Amino acid sequence: MAARPFQLMVSILAGDALNLLDAIRTAEKAGADWISIDMCDGNFVPTISFGEEVVRRTCQETTLPVEAHLMV
């Protein structure tokens, strides 16, 4: 199979907040090249989402690179 001319970075923001491991595994099975974590503080955008512990745990649970998108 030829390499894709792009990489797929998948956000887990829409995943079940009580079971983010499922969102990570779904992204891996779907062929994601990266996991993206949107970190929202409730000021820059109205949503409050993940903190540094979620980033740390995500890095422990996947072999994919993890990117933190700071929306603060």
Give the model confidence (pLDDT) of 16-59 as tens digits. 989 999 999 999 999 999 999 999 999 989 999 999 999 999 99
Q: Which residue has the tokens 């894709």?
A: 4
In a domain, 13, yes or no: yes
Angle between helices 20-29 and 52-61 (to 10 degrees): 50
Supply the pLDDT for residue 4.
84
Residue 50 lies in a domain: yes
Q: Output the pLDDT for position 35.
A: 98
In a domain, 1, yes or no: no
Using the predicted structure, report yes or no on whether residue 1 has a pLDDT greater than 70.
no
Q: Is residue 17 part of a domain?
A: yes
Residue 36 inside a domain? The answer is yes
CB distance 34 to 8 below 8 Å: yes
Above 70 in pLDDT, residue 60? yes
**How many domains is the chain partitioned into structurally?**
1
Q: What is the pTM of this model?
A: 0.84
Integer Cα distance of 4 and 23 in angstroms: 23
Domain that holds residue 62: 9-71
Structural domain includes residue 43: yes
What pLDDT band is residue 68 in, cutting at 50, 70 and 90? very high
Within-domain flag for 28: yes
Task: Report whether pLDDT(2) > 80.
Answer: no
For residue 3, being part of any structural domain is answered with no
